[in-house]
């Protein structure tokens, strides 16, 4: 019972962060709300017993992506004011209620304990390492993605040097 309560409190924090991203008037505030939402997702992973996924969530998303957004925002000399398209405000509450009902029905029907058991098995270091480095599985695609990212980084450096030389 206590696990379910903690899970729902952290889920409320994640939802509040997501709503903050959508409703923020300034880009900087939207990025801070995004950081709150991503850290909340990491906390959900911890409550489910998937500590490895929680650490990756904090390092890659809450750390790397949010810092990248902040640097891009601060270095582009923009007015930092979001320009919003016209919204369909009449459909937003209806879709939010439908989504909340479906999500609560799913969590209630699958059971919190089974979610935690599955996440602790899937999100452990051994299972993720076994999936990546299994001889039949993903070693070659994993290495190819690394080479592709290296090529993109070298190309970006080359283009940046060429631009700086002008």
Do both 96 and 139 map to the same domain? no
Structural domain boundaries, residue 143: 134-166
Do both 99 and 162 map to the same domain? no
Do both 87 and 163 map to the same domain? no
**Residues 6 or more apart whose Cβ sits within 8 Å of residue 73:** 27, 28, 31, 80
Report the pLDDT averaged over residues 127-143: 72
Do both 125 and 156 map to the same domain? no
pTM, rounded to two decimals: 0.60
Do both 109 and 152 map to the same domain? no
Tokens in use for 159?
């283009």
Do both 6 and 79 map to the same domain? yes
Do both 120 and 143 map to the same domain? no
Do both 70 and 49 map to the same domain? yes
Residues 74-100: tens digit of each pLDDT: 777 665 666 666 666 667 677 778 888
Q: Provide the number of structural domains found in the chain.
A: 2
Residues 21-32: tens digit of each pLDDT: 888 888 888 888
Do both 10 and 68 map to the same domain? yes
């Amino acid at each position: 019972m206590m696990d379910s309560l903690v899970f729902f409190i952290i889920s409320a924090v994640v939802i509040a962060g997501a709503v903050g991203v959508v409703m923020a008037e300034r880009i900087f505030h939207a990025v801070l709300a995004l950081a709150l939402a991503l850290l909340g997702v990491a906390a959900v992973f911890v409550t489910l017993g998937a500590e490895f996924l929680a650490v990756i969530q904090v390092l890659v998303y809450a750390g790397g992506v949010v810092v990248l957004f902040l640097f891009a925002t601060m270095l582009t000399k923009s007015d930092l004011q979001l320009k919003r398209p016209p919204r369909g405000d009449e459909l937003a509450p209806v879709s939010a209620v439908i989504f909340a009902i479906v999500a609560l029905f799913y969590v209630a029907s699958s059971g919190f304990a089974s979610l935690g058991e599955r996440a602790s098995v899937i999100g452990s270091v051994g299972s993720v390492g076994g999936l990546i480095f299994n001889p039949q599985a993903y070693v070659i695609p994993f290495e190819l993605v690394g080479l592709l990212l290296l090529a993109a980084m070298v190309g970006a450096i080359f283009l940046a040097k060429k631009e700086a030389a002008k």
